[in-house]
Each structure stands twice: as structure tokens, then as C-alpha cells.
């Protein structure tokens, strides 16, 4: 077993994941209000850093600032270009307490916020300022998840480099608590039906306005109660769900409409990165071939590291 990839146990870490999910939504919604709209909601995502998650640089009036989750020292930190900072510990906070601390820290830095307090993409959503149910944060679970995100990001970045068409960054979506990267054919897609809980249909339809093959990682939920990698295409071409993809441990989840590869399969592999790349490449090739993408054009890359050095 390769110990560079940490073990993730959804049943043990579920409560921490749910609390962290709501915290990241609060910070993500702050970023949403401070950024101009970028296609497919790419402006709202967080980035994985060596120590946690970050908004990257934001601006309020004439002040530049950044909000960081430190999942190693287990703190939230706000930094400004005026060298003023605010920081607080993550342990022992409910979602309501976290929201209160964030609001206070930003107010002290003369940064005002006005966000929608209802979480997105979750059923039975509790407004952040009322949520005293989600209060669990175990550092070991947060640190393990962070390390898994770092490892996944490294492999996703390699996968992204193999595509020269329109492609998203490797970024963290706080709506679903998942790390993702998406490739596009360049062709428009049929209108998405919407229906995602607590997400305006117009947002979903803009996100899926063009044909897309997307892959990602998330730590699990009630539908898939284990950490997993996923891959799907929208719109899904005929034959996709029945396509024999690699590795053999991967399978199509009919309710999600995605291929799933349990994280444990990668974590326990002799070469985890190669195992994950096999899944990413195989599912993409199935999607692109069945959908008739122009792969000879989309996969050209004149700046491979070997030829660029």
C-alpha cells in the first residue's frame, strides 16, 4: 500500500466533511460577490495550496485581500495588501460560529460582505447563520483530505496538459466539495434540464452550455458513501455507460450518470498516479470517441516539457 496517498474513511470523517463543506461555501460565496462572472462559474472556485484552500486574490473597494484555509495548522486566515491580517482556529466552531467569525474578521479589516446565506447544491439547506448542527472538525480527517486533494491535483494537472482545446483549470468547487477539471469539444450542447438542489437553473445551463467531458474527486456523500474519482460527459452519447473502461475496478453509476473509481483502489495501488491516469484517459477516450470529438485537433500540444526544455 502506497502511504503517500492517505487512507480516507467516509464513515469516520463524514461529519468533518459536512462541516468543512459549509465553511467552504461561505468563503466561496464571498469570492462570488467580489469577482466578475467567468464562464461556467470558474470565478467562484477555490484553489488547492500546499497548506489548504485559497480564494486567491480578491478586491473590495481599494483593498486587496485573500482568504485561506490552513488545513495543516487548522486555521482560517485573511490577509490584505496593507499587511493587516486576521486569523482564527477552526476547531470547535459550528457553521454559524464560523460565519460570525469570518464576518467579524472582515469587518475589522473594513471589508464588507453581503452573501446569500442559503447553501447551494444541498437538500434541506440550513442558512449559515442558523446552522449550529454542523460543528464537527477533526484535524486528522481534514489533513488527510487535504493531502488527497494535493495528490489528485498533481495527477489532474498532468491529465490537463495532454489537451490543447478549451479546458478548465484544476479547481475546487465548494458547491459539491469536489476537485475537478473539464475538457470541451467546442460545440454547443443541448439545454441542461437544471433541477440541481438550491442552484438556479440558469447557472447549471450556463455551466453545461457546451459539450463537456469532466472528471474529478470528492470525499463521498450519501449516494456514494466513500471517497471516489468520477468521470462523465454531457450530453452523454449512446453506448457510454456500457463502454468497457480501465481500470477494471471502475464502473458506471446509473443514478449519477458517471463512471466511478473508488479512491481506495488508487490509494492501495502500487503506482497510484498511473492507476488514476489510466481511469482519466480511458473514460475521456470513451466519451470523446462516442461523441465524435475532433481529437486530432483537440489533443495537439506543441509544448510538451520534453520539447520545450
Express each pLDDT in 107-159 by its tens digit: 999 999 999 999 999 989 999 999 999 999 999 999 999 999 999 999 999 99
The mean pLDDT value for 210-233 works out to 96
CA–CA separation, 160 and 136 (whole Å): 35
Pair 13, 226: CB distance under 8 Å: no
| Burial of residue 202 (number of CB atoms within 10 Å: 0-12, 13-18, 19+) | exposed
Pair 63, 40: CB distance under 8 Å: no
Extract the runs of DSSP E, i.e. beta strands, from the chain: 47-48, 52-54, 58-60, 63-70, 75-80, 85-89, 171-173, 178-188, 210-218, 228-234, 251-253, 258-262
Say if residue 16's pLDDT is above 70. yes
- Global pTM value: 0.95
pLDDT category at 283 given cuts 50, 70, 90 is very high
Q: What is the pLDDT of residue 309?
A: 47
CA-closest candidate to residue 127, choices 25, 211, 271, 50:
25
Amino acid at each position: 500500500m502506497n502511504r503517500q496517498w492517505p487512507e480516507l474513511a467516509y464513515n469516520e470523517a463524514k461529519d468533518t466533511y459536512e462541516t468543512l463543506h459549509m465553511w467552504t461555501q461561505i468563503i466561496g460565496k464571498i469570492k462570488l460577490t467580489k469577482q466578475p462572472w467567468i464562464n461556467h462559474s470558474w470565478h467562484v472556485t477555490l484553489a488547492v495550496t500546499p497548506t489548504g484552500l485559497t480564494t486567491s486574490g480578491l478586491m473590495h473597494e481599494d483593498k486587496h485581500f485573500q482568504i485561506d484555509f490552513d488545513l495543516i495548522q487548522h486555521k482560517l486566515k485573511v490577509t490584505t495588501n496593507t499587511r493587516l491580517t486576521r486569523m482564527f482556529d477552526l476547531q470547535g466552531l459550528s457553521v454559524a460560529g464560523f460565519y460570525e467569525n469570518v464576518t467579524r474578521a472582515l469587518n475589522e479589516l473594513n471589508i464588507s460582505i453581503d452573501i446569500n446565506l442559503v447553501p447551494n447544491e444541498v437538500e434541506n439547506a440550513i442558512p449559515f447563520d442558523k446552522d449550529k448542527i454542523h460543528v464537527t472538525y477533526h484535524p486528522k480527517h481534514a489533513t488527510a483530505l487535504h493531502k488527497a486533494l494535493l495528490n489528485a491535483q498533481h495527477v489532474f494537472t498532468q491529465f490537463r496538459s495532454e489537451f490543447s482545446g478549451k479546458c478548465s483549470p484544476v479547481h475546487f468547487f465548494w458547491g459539491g466539495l469536489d476537485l475537478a477539471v473539464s475538457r470541451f469539444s467546442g460545440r454547443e450542447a443541448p439545454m441542461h434540464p437544471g433541477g440541481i438542489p438550491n442552484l438556479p437553473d440558469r447557472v447549471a445551463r450556463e455551466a453545461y452550455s457546451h459539450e463537456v467531458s469532466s472528471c474529478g474527486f470528492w470525499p463521498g456523500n450519501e449516494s456514494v458513501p466513500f471517497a471516489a474519482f468520477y468521470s462523465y460527459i454531457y450530453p452523454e452519447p449512446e453506448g457510454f455507460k456500457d463502454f468497457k473502461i480501465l481500470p477494471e475496478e471502475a464502473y458506471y453509476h446509473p443514478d449519477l450518470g458517471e463512471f466511478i473509481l473508488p479512491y481506495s483502489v488508487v490509494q492501495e495501488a502500487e503506482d497510484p498516479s498511473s492507476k488514476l491516469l489510466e481511469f482519466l484517459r480511458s473514460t475521456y477516450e470513451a466519451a470523446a470517441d462516442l461523441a465524435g470529438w475532433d481529437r486530432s485537433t483537440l489533443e495537439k500540444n506543441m509544448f510538451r516539457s520534453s520539447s520545450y526544455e
